[in-house]
């Protein structure tokens, strides 16, 4: 493999100032856009020896045929230019977030001669001011209905507006008092724009002082016997009260807090984002995105690209933007956000208190969204079929792997070694076919893999052999153990694990079964005897299926490991004089996990109901050496 790419510029040619760079392919298509505080330092990372680069970075730089850069004055200018170029060129290797659904917004078309309020799912209307997103279209329609009683601005189509302008006759909304009537001359265009500005200000501030003000005006009109005005103010008062009640949202922070809270969960292939829009301390909206990652960006890099996407359009950032990790150019991002908001914007990570709790909730939602995204993709029949065909082609298999078995090993500091076998048929999990193994003695993970596959493959050679299996399956019932021959064996690991599995396969004498391993760090697919991995496209259905099979094997192994650990510690505790089954159960219930119990002090153990100081000291002595789950 060449040391680096042939188009690498000389180090002295690259400036050390802030700037933006573009990688282009042979057809001059822009592949990737990035920014840097120091262009020379940043670009040197891409031109390191190819074998030292992350696989996906290596694929990007080898696909490219040239690199070019533009020097700017400051980091903020670099950020602005990067955003402009990403929007212009849509580079395939940059992160491109996509909304998991099309959310409705309330938009005010300030760019029109007579602005109107509309419900729309389309972003990017020139000059429009957006409010939302709303979870359901009925919610935004209901909000608009209430607001029009307070601020009867235009909502009619442009064609109806032009027709009314020509005829001088108000449209239907104007006839029933739902519009001030700029089209028919009831008010001037400027007077209507003033009303629109009041509408926008109210949506931004949501000032509750309008309620007592309307009540005062209603009472004054009634005292003056201006009953029509009093009735109108009464209706507006009811609309305002209903608006605040229906749009209250959950109180999560102090009433003075306006913030956007971003929760992010990601792995090597994909990322999910959950946004909580908090205004006046209440959650006013929720939005989420998913993305296939082309380059393996760290969390800070994801935050950087996400904020550019969210606030690069019409959405104005609030006073605080709370993220799980600050990007490298946090100060430049703050300045950029502040320039868009017209005031100071604080970009921060919440470590404690209510904001940290809300950030954790957003992150948990992102975790569920990512899991759902991957599950739905794996469950799609067309995607599954394509994935199996791609795996067949990538591994050179004679036929598609309709039955895949994946193996993973888990241990506790070298002890309590267990292994799992999960089965996927036609790209879907067969949980009644899952198996768990106990491994009494092993030197390392490769030896464990060799033992487990040896036991499984022995059954294929001689069906009368009954391998030692801890538990038949995750679900009861099902077909006989190991009843079907797999097309493909997958192990969790790289070259060493695949080599060990290949030894077991060769020793068994079983033929016609393909073998591979998936290395978690780079999501590479290794085959026996190969010096280089098989690299599947990062957004391919085949890689998603491999990842899900591996993750399921890991989950199943860890679940078994924890169950064994709980049984083991129960056995240890039951040997302590004075600790019967009820007290053992109470200890585990009180601390919630074995790890917490092992790490607890004697004083903490003494707080458990039925445990005295002497007994607590004995329990602490037995369990004082904490241990953690250790895996390759």
- For 219-235, the pLDDT digits (tens) are 888 888 887 778 777 87
Rounded Cα distance between 37 and 303, Å, is: 17
Considering 5-19, 42-56, 470-484, the range whose residues carry the highest mean pLDDT is: 5-19
- Do 448 and 541 belong together in one domain? yes
Residue with tokens 């330092």: 41
- Where residue 600 sits, what CATH number does that domain have? 1.10.150.20
pLDDT band at 629 (very low <50, low <70, confident <90, very high): very low
pLDDT at 597: 72
Six token digits for residue 68: 């070019």
Last residue of a domain, one of 328, 357, 375: 375
Q: What is the DSSP letter of 480?
A: P
SS (H, E, C) 80-115: HHHHHHHHHHCCCCCCCCEECCCCCEEEEECCCCCC
Question: Does the structure show a pLDDT above 90 at 323?
Answer: yes
Q: Which residue has the higher pLDDT, 621 or 243?
A: 621
Work out whether strand 117-120 and strand 128-131 pair parallel, antiparallel, or are unpaired: unpaired
Q: Which domain holds residue 460?
A: 381-561
Question: Does the structure show a pLDDT above 50 at 631?
Answer: no
Rounded Cα distance between 578 and 615, Å, is: 7
Question: Does the structure show a pLDDT above 90 at 165?
Answer: no
What's the mean pLDDT in 404-432? 82
Residue 221 lies in a domain: no
Residue 99 lies in a domain: no
Last residue of a domain, one of 317, 347, 375: 375
Residue with tokens 């309709």: 402
List the one residue out of 472, 485, 477, 410 whose CA is nearest residue 436. 472
Rounded Cα distance between 79 and 337, Å, is: 11
Rounded Cα distance between 407 and 421, Å, is: 5
- Do 170 and 139 belong together in one domain? yes
pLDDT band at 593 (very low <50, low <70, confident <90, very high): low
pLDDT at 574: 61
What's the mean pLDDT in 100-126? 77
Report the mean per-residue pLDDT for the chain.
Answer: 79
List the one residue out of 106, 344, 367 whose CA is nearest residue 247. 106
- Burial class of residue 355 in the structure, from the number of CB atoms within 10 Å of its CB (0-12 exposed, 13-18 middle, 19+ buried): buried
pLDDT band at 560 (very low <50, low <70, confident <90, very high): low
List the one residue out of 501, 582, 535, 57 whose CA is nearest residue 297. 57
Rounded Cα distance between 108 and 336, Å, is: 24
- Do 368 and 386 belong together in one domain? no
- Where residue 297 sits, what CATH number does that domain have? 3.30.420.10
- Do 531 and 601 belong together in one domain? no
Q: Please name the residue ranges forming H helices in 313-414.
A: 330-341, 353-379, 381-395
- Do 437 and 510 belong together in one domain? yes
- Do 335 and 296 belong together in one domain? yes
pLDDT band at 266 (very low <50, low <70, confident <90, very high): confident
Give percent of the chain with pLDDT exceeding 70.
79
Q: Please name the residue ranges forming H helices in 207-292.
A: 210-223, 227-246
Q: Which residue has the higher pLDDT, 462 or 197?
A: 197
- Do 474 and 546 belong together in one domain? yes
pLDDT at 341: 85
Rounded Cα distance between 416 and 410, Å, is: 8
Rounded Cα distance between 61 and 324, Å, is: 29
H and E: helices and strands count for the chain: 20, 19
In this structure, are residues 2 and 50 in contact, taking their beta carbons and an 8 Å threshold? yes
In this structure, are residues 491 and 449 in contact, taking their beta carbons and an 8 Å threshold? yes
How many alpha carbons fall within 13 Å on the CB side of residue 314? 19
In this structure, are residues 59 and 535 in contact, taking their beta carbons and an 8 Å threshold? yes
Q: Which residue has the higher pLDDT, 253 or 550?
A: 550
List the one residue out of 310, 275, 314 whose CA is nearest residue 130. 314
- Do 275 and 392 belong together in one domain? no
Residue 252 lies in a domain: no
Rounded Cα distance between 366 and 384, Å, is: 24
pLDDT at 473: 46
Q: Which residue has the higher pLDDT, 54 or 535?
A: 535
Question: Measured in whole angstroms, how far is the alpha carbon of residue 148 from the centre of its chain?
Answer: 37
Residue 1 lies in a domain: no
Assess whether the previous peptide bond of 235 is cis (omega < 30° from 0): no
pLDDT band at 7 (very low <50, low <70, confident <90, very high): very high
Last residue of a domain, one of 345, 375, 405: 375
Residue 35 lies in a domain: yes
pLDDT band at 86 (very low <50, low <70, confident <90, very high): confident
Question: Does the structure show a pLDDT above 50 at 475?
Answer: no
Rounded Cα distance between 490 and 501, Å, is: 9
* Cβ-defined contacts of 602-607 (< 8 Å, 24+): none
- Do 30 and 155 belong together in one domain? no
pTM score above 0.75:
no
Rounded Cα distance between 263 and 363, Å, is: 4
Q: What is the pLDDT of residues 339-382, one digit of tens each?
A: 888 889 999 999 888 888 889 888 888 888 887 777 766 667 77
Residue 129 lies in a domain: yes
- Burial class of residue 432 in the structure, from the number of CB atoms within 10 Å of its CB (0-12 exposed, 13-18 middle, 19+ buried): middle
Q: What is the DSSP letter of 508?
A: H
Rounded Cα distance between 522 and 542, Å, is: 15
Please give the order of strands across the beta sheet that includes 346-348: 98-99, 282-292, 270-279, 259-266, 320-322, 346-348
pLDDT band at 488 (very low <50, low <70, confident <90, very high): very high
pLDDT at 77: 81
What's the mean pLDDT in 575-582? 72
What's the mean pLDDT in 396-403? 91
């Amino acid at each position: 493999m060449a040391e680096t790419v042939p188009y690498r510029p000389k180090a002295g040619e690259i400036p050390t100032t802030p700037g933006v760079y573009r990688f282009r392919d042979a057809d001059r298509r822009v592949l990737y856009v990035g920014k840097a505080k120091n262009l020379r330092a940043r670009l040197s990372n891409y031109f390191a020896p190819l074998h030292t680069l992350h696989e996906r970075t290596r694929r990007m730089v080898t696909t490219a045929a040239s690199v070019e850069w533009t020097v700017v004055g400051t980091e903020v200018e670099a950020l602005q230019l990067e955003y402009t170029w990403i929007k212009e060129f849509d580079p395939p290797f940059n992160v491109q977030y996509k909304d998991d659904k099309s959310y409705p917004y309330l938009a005010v078309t300030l760019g029109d001669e007579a602005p109107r309020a509309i419900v729309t799912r389309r972003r990017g209307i020139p000059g429009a001011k957006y409010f939302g997103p709303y979870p359901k279209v009925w919610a935004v329609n209901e909000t608009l209905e209430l607001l029009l009683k307070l601020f009867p601005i235009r909502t009619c189509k442009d064609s109806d507006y032009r027709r009314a302008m020509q005829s001088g006759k108000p449209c239907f909304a104007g006839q029933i008092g739902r519009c001030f009537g700029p089209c028919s001359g009831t008010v001037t265009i400027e007077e209507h724009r003033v009303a629109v500005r009041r509408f926008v200000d109210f949506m931004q501030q949501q000032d509750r002082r309008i309620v007592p003000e309307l009540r005062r005006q209603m009472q004054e009109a009634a005292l003056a016997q201006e009953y029509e005005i009093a009735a109108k103010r009464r209706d507006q008062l009811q609309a305002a009260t209903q608006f605040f009640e229906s749009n209250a949202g959950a109180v999560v922070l102090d009433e003075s807090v306006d913030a956007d809270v971003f929760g992010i969960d990601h792995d090597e292939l994909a990322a999910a984002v959950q946004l909580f829009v908090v205004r006046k301390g209440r959650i006013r909206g929720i939005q989420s995105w998913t993305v296939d990652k082309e380059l393996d960006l760290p969390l800070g890099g994801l935050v950087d690209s996400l904020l550019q996407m969210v606030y690069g359009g019409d959405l104005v950032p609030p006073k605080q933007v709370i993220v799980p990790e600050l990007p490298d150019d946090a100060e430049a991002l703050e300045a950029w956000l502040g320039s868009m908001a017209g005031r100071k914007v604080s970009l921060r990570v919440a470590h404690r208190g209510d904001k940290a709790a809300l950030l954790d909730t957003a992150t948990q939602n992102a975790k569920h969204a990512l899991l759902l995204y991957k599950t739905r993709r794996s469950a799609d029949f067309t995607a599954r079929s394509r994935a199996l065909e791609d795996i067949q082609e990538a591994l050179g298999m004679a036929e598609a792997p309709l039955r895949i078995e994946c193996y993973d090993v888990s241990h506790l500091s070298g002890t309590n070694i267990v292994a799992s076998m999960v089965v996927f048929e036609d790209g879907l999990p067969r949980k009644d076919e899952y198996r768990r193994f106990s491994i009494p003695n092993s030197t390392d993970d490769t030896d464990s893999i060799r033992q487990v596959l040896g036991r499984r493959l022995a059954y294929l050679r001689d069906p009368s052999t009954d391998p030692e299996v801890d538990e038949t399956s995750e679900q009861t019932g099902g077909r006989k153990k190991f009843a079907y021959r797999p097309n493909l064996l997958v192990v969790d690991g790289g070259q060493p694990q695949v080599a060990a599995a290949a030894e077991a396969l060769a020793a068994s004498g079983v033929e016609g079964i393909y073998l591979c391993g998936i290395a978690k760090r780079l999501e590479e697919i290794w085959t026996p005897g190969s010096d280089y991995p098989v690299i599947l496209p990062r957004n391919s259905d085949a890689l998603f299926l491999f990842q899900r099979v591996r993750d399921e094997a890991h989950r199943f192994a860890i679940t078994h490991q924890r169950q064994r650990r709980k049984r083991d510690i129960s056995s240890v505790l039951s040997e302590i004089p004075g600790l019967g089954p009820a007290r053992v159960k109470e200890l585990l219930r009180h601390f919630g996990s074995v790890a917490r119990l092992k790490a607890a002090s004697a004083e903490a153990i003494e707080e458990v109901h039925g445990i005295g100081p002497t007994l607590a000291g004995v329990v602490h002595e037995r369990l004082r050496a904490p241990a953690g789950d250790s895996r390759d």
